[in-house]
Amino acid sequence: MIERISRRKLLGSIGLGAGGLMLAGCDKVGRTAAFGSAQMSAQDLTMSVQRLFLDRRALAPEYDRSEMSPTFRTNGNAMPGSAAYKAHLSSNFADWRLVVDGLVARPLALSLDQIRRLPARTQITRHDCVEGWSAIGQWTGVPLKLLLGAAGLSRAARYIVFHCADDFGGTPYYESIDLVDAYHPQTILAWGMNGQPLPVGHGAPLRLRVERQLGYKQAKYVMRVEAVDSLARIAGGKGGYWEDVAAYQWYAGI
């Protein structure tokens, strides 16, 4: 028994030491280039497996009115700070235009009224924040594929970039999706929420809903939709604000 206890103590201290080393090690490993590329491969693998083995046109679950969140919290920016946005807000977005440009045959500049008169889709879906919480709300808006069709998307286009009116410390928010998601029937630019005009806290006058991805992909205060062949030349080159500043995954289907 005496031998056992001393052996146990020995093992315990070895365990603690190893644990400490591993902890410090994980932080160090996490910063190495090799680990960085392993992470990127894992991210690509996750996206490839989802794209290859799962139905690309599968619809996100839609919910009943009775299943909606009583309170749908806001997140990220709840009020863009720019003077231009404040001017739009005070004039009720009368002079606001959504620009659709980039690799398109016919660039568009649409007023909010014009967008509201286009065919609309209403869906009650679940919004999943990367932090872990979920809220269910109703969204009404124009399917993105209608706008891309009207603008005549070029064959060279690979990604759709959403430029936003809000910023973090002067860096404008932006996001991007590929054409699989851009042409998905539930991918809409929403101007209505829960039967009301889209509130400022949720991205007035227009926000993206890309229902099979996490919250940070759902760009709010969308001002410009740009079709591009590569994300490399946009801001930090990783396809989105959080992707650029904090290494969040560009593919946020998981």
Partner 1 sequence: MDSNDPIENSVDDEPAAVAESDVVYRHRWPTRLWHWTNALSVFVMLMSGLMIFNAHPRLYWGQYGANADYAWLEIGGQGDRGTLRVVDITIPTTGVLGRWKNSDGQLQARAFPYWATIPSQYNLAGARIWHFLFAWFLVIPGLLFWMASFLNRHFRRDLKPKKSELKPAHIWDDIKDHARLKFPTGQAARDYNILQKISYIAVIFVLLPLIVLAGLTMSPGMDAAWPWLLDIFGGRQSARSIHFILAMMLLGFIIVHLVMVVLAGPINEVRSMITGRYRLPEDK
Task: Please report whether residue 86 would count as binding partner 1 according to CB under 8 A.
Answer: no
Task: Please report whether residue 131 would count as binding partner 1 according to CB under 8 A.
Answer: yes
Cβ at position 76, least distance to partner 1 in Å: 14
Alpha-carbon Rg for the chain in angstroms = 22
Cβ at position 91, least distance to partner 1 in Å: 32
Task: Please report whether residue 69 would count as binding partner 1 according to CB under 8 A.
Answer: yes
Task: Please report whether residue 17 would count as binding partner 1 according to CB under 8 A.
Answer: no
Cβ at position 69, least distance to partner 1 in Å: 5
Task: Please report whether residue 254 would count as binding partner 1 according to CB under 8 A.
Answer: yes
Cβ at position 126, least distance to partner 1 in Å: 6
Please name which of 163, 209, 171, 200 lies closest in space to residue 78, comparing C-alpha atoms.
Answer: 200
Cβ at position 246, least distance to partner 1 in Å: 5
| DSSP letter (8 states) at residue 73 | -
Task: Please report whether residue 65 would count as binding partner 1 according to CB under 8 A.
Answer: no
For residue 233, what are the CA distances in angstroms to 21, 132, 156, 248?
40, 31, 15, 18
Task: Please report whether residue 133 would count as binding partner 1 according to CB under 8 A.
Answer: yes
Length of the chain: 254
Among 55, 105, 169, 195, binds partner 1 (CB under 8 A): 55
Name residues whose C-beta falls within 8 Å of residue 29's C-beta, 6 or more positions apart in sequence: 35
Task: Say whether 226 sits in a helix, a strand or coil.
Answer: strand
Task: Please report whether residue 39 would count as binding partner 1 according to CB under 8 A.
Answer: yes
Residues 120, 185: contact at Cβ < 8 Å? no
For residue 250, what are the CA distances in angstroms to 29, 56, 70, 175, 243?
22, 17, 30, 9, 6
Task: Please report whether residue 73 would count as binding partner 1 according to CB under 8 A.
Answer: yes
Task: Please report whether residue 30 would count as binding partner 1 according to CB under 8 A.
Answer: yes
Two tokens, residue 1: 């028994």
By CB under 8 A, which span of 25-33, 76-84, 162-170, 189-197 interacts with partner 1?
25-33
User: Rounded to whole angstroms, how far apart are CA atoms 218 and 181?
Assistant: 12
Cβ at position 165, least distance to partner 1 in Å: 24
Task: Please report whether residue 78 would count as binding partner 1 according to CB under 8 A.
Answer: no
Task: Please report whether residue 180 would count as binding partner 1 according to CB under 8 A.
Answer: no
User: Rounded to whole angstroms, how far apart are CA atoms 155 and 158?
Assistant: 8
Name residues whose C-beta falls within 8 Å of residue 194's C-beta, 6 or more positions apart in sequence: 68, 72, 137, 138
**Where do contacts with partner 1 occur on this chain (CB under 8 A)?**
4, 7-8, 11, 22-23, 26-27, 30, 38-39, 42-43, 45-46, 50, 54-55, 58-61, 63, 67, 69-73, 126, 128-136, 211-214, 242, 246-249, 252-254
